[in-house]
């Protein structure tokens, strides 16, 4: 899909990958970019960096009523939504003993937010016989995460739901992409300005690099968008010999815990 003259919504657009996507999309002259985020100031900063084509809306994507309101307001103003990027995410919790609040927060943001977005925007797309959904997941959703059970489990859910959407609606003109990066230099990974820690920092990409991969993936209408191409090899190794792969992940976890 070409982005020219398209109406685009990006949740989590106030920082990180979301902001970079909005800024990159703007270069292809869309009709409108709606920057949605819980952080109103962050969303406004993104809009200010883009210009008149963009507007900001404050939305908590874990609240279905707010997602419905977002979709309704954008549709009322612009007549349609061509591309909905369900992008917001968090990194909380550690092992299986993470508090239930961390488990549920991850579930609501990494799975149910995608469900709410699909429920809200799919009817108009199906009626037109066209539309595009981009769900941000993670390489952790294809592989795992050696340090966070809630993140690994819920990102697997993100990938699974994107797969299901493509299976169920791909023949009806709905295109679905699932963005699965490894480390990206955002506050989610580095923990704050100029801080560098964690096993994913080595080889991490800048958000702008990820955004460029997103545009290329959407242009080709690829389901899996892999800014780190080595992830495909890791997936192939996982499916070729699951026990060997699990052994390798145990070793990686042990090395990370020693640092």
Residue spans per domain, the chain: 7-231
Q: Which residues contact 203 (CB under 8 A, 6 or more apart)?
A: 182, 183, 228
Q: Give the CATH architecture of domain 7-231.
A: 3-Layer(aba) Sandwich (3.40)
The H or E element spanning position 252 is helix 242-258
Which of 66, 83, 60 has the alpha carbon at shortest distance from 14?
Answer: 60
Q: Alpha carbon 102 to chain centroid distance?
A: 19
Which of 134, 170, 183, 135 has the alpha carbon at shortest distance from 156?
Answer: 135
Cβ atoms 8, 35 nearer than 8 A: no
* Model confidence, pTM: 0.92
Q: What is the pLDDT along the chain (259 residues), one digit of tens a residue?
A: 999 999 999 999 999 999 999 999 999 999 999 999 999 999 999 999 999 999 999 999 999 999 999 999 999 999 999 999 999 889 877 899 999 999 999 999 999 999 999 999 999 999 999 999 999 999 999 999 999 999 999 999 999 999 999 999 999 999 999 999 998 897 655 554 333 345 566 678 999 999 999 999 999 999 999 999 999 999 999 999 999 999 999 999 998 888 6
Which SS3 state, helix, strand or coil, does residue 27 take?
A: coil
């Amino acid at each position: 899909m070409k982005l020219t003259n398209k109406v685009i919504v990006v949740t989590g657009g106030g920082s990180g990958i979301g902001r970079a996507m909005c800024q990159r999309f703007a270069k292809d002259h869309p009709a409108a970019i709606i920057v949605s985020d819980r952080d109103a100031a962050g969303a406004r900063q993104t809009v200010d960096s883009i210009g008149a084509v963009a507007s900001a809306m404050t939305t908590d994507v874990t609240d279905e009523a707010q997602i419905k309101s977002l979709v309704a307001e954008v549709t009322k103003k612009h007549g349609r939504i061509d591309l909905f990027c369900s992008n917001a995410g968090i990194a909380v919790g550690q092992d299986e003993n993470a508090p239930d609040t961390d488990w549920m927060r991850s579930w609501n943001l990494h799975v149910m937010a995608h469900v709410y977005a699909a429920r809200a925007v799919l009817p108009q797309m199906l009626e037109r016989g066209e539309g595009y959904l981009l769900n941000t997941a993670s390489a952790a959703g294809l592989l795992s995460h050696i340090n966070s059970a809630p993140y690994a489990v819920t990102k697997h859910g993100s990938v699974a739901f994107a797969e299901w959407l493509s299976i169920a609606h791909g023949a009806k003109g709905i295109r679905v992409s699932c963005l699965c990066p490894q480390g990206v230099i955002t506050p989610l990974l580095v923990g704050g300005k100029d801080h560098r820690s964690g096993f994913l920092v080595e080889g991490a990409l800048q958000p702008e690099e990820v955004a460029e991969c997103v545009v290329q993936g959407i242009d080709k209408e690829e389901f899996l968008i892999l800014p780190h191409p080595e992830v495909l090899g890791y997936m192939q190794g996982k499916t070729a010999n699951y026990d060997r792969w699990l052994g390798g992940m145990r070793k990686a976890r042990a090395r990370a815990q020693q640092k």
